[in-house]
Amino acid sequence: MIELRWTGRLTGSGEFVDALPILPVDVAGVFETVRVTARDRVPPLWPQHRARLVGSLRALEVVDEQSAPMVAAQLDRFVSEVLGHAVVALPPPRELGVESHERLRLAITFDATRGPHGAVPGVRITIGPADPAPTLVRLAPVCFRMPVVDLPPSAHKHLDRRAWTLAQADARRCGADEALRVDDEGRVLESTTSNLFAVMEGRLVTPPTDGRILPGVARAALLERLMAHGVRVDVRPIQRGEIEAAEGLWLTNALRGPRQAVLVDRQGEPPTAAAQGALLVSAWHRLVGT
């Protein structure tokens, strides 16, 4: 096991200043969780992660359009240098025929009280083992709203995870592994860690990125690859009742790829829709080169 902590701040000159103290996770900021292995010099899907991160910084008015390319280049350098130090200590690419991977987490913090473009973003990068996770995820539908006054919008991957933590606690009390977010009109959005794909009438369906769910890197990459190979995926709202009758449920995120899921009150039923799940898994392996 290794864990590297690299803290510092982005500067206008493009230099990395190793002087920022490690900050608590409830500060204003955004982050990315990236899958890395010992053979990676550039993590799989890193350009997509970087684009989402810089896009969030622009949308939140932490950086402006002119400085965004410089910030992107700095992030490339930071990640490359950190991986250069870490790669020798990571587990070998394959153990017992299974791809071994670690979690790189890159957090950017900023002082939200300083106004547009007034904060100097701080960077924190850690690399460590991915937490154990079930291959079949038990889901409990949880209805909760995002209090706009207190919490950041769901379209960005904020360090403030209070709403997700509360939903996860509710799910655990129901015997589930994760919460499945449902809005007050019964539309299913996402789980607490992943985007959702459902199989309905033999076809993959996923909720739209309408500002209330995270535009997942894995979700977008899988959609692009599947559609490029002629696999139809419907992007539309999904009602909770449809989830109850779905032929299969899959969760996707960039750390773990596709994982099969089941509603906690139906976990005794055998998983179905194997063909559609195989399409997701096959597309994922091609994306990350496993």
Overall CATH class of domain 136-288: alpha beta
pLDDT tens for the chain, 290 residues long, are 223 344 444 444 333 333 333 344 456 788 999 998 766 678 889 999 999 999 998 888 888 888 888 888 888 888 888 777 655 455 554 443 344 567 888 888 876 555 555 555 677 787 777 778 888 999 999 876 555 444 456 788 988 887 788 888 889 998 999 999 998 889 999 999 999 999 999 899 999 998 889 999 999 999 999 999 999 999 999 999 999 989 999 999 999 999 999 999 876 665 666 788 899 999 999 998 77
Domain with CATH 3.20.10.10 in the chain: 136-288
Contact between 102 and 37 under an 8 Å Cβ cutoff? The reply is: yes
The residue length of the chain stands at 290
Give 278's contacts (C-beta < 8 A, 6+ positions apart).
none
DSSP strand pairing (248-253 vs 257-263): antiparallel
Residue 243: CA count within 13 A, CB half-sphere = 29
Which phi and psi (to 5°) does residue 7 adopt?
Answer: -120, 145
User: With the C-alpha atoms ordered 226, 228, 232, 235, is the resulting torsion angle positive or negative?
Assistant: positive
| Distances, alpha carbon 236 to alpha carbons 187, 207, 242, 287, in Å | 10, 5, 12, 24
Q: What is the CATH number of domain 4-129?
A: 3.30.470.10
Domain with CATH 3.30.470.10 in the chain: 4-129
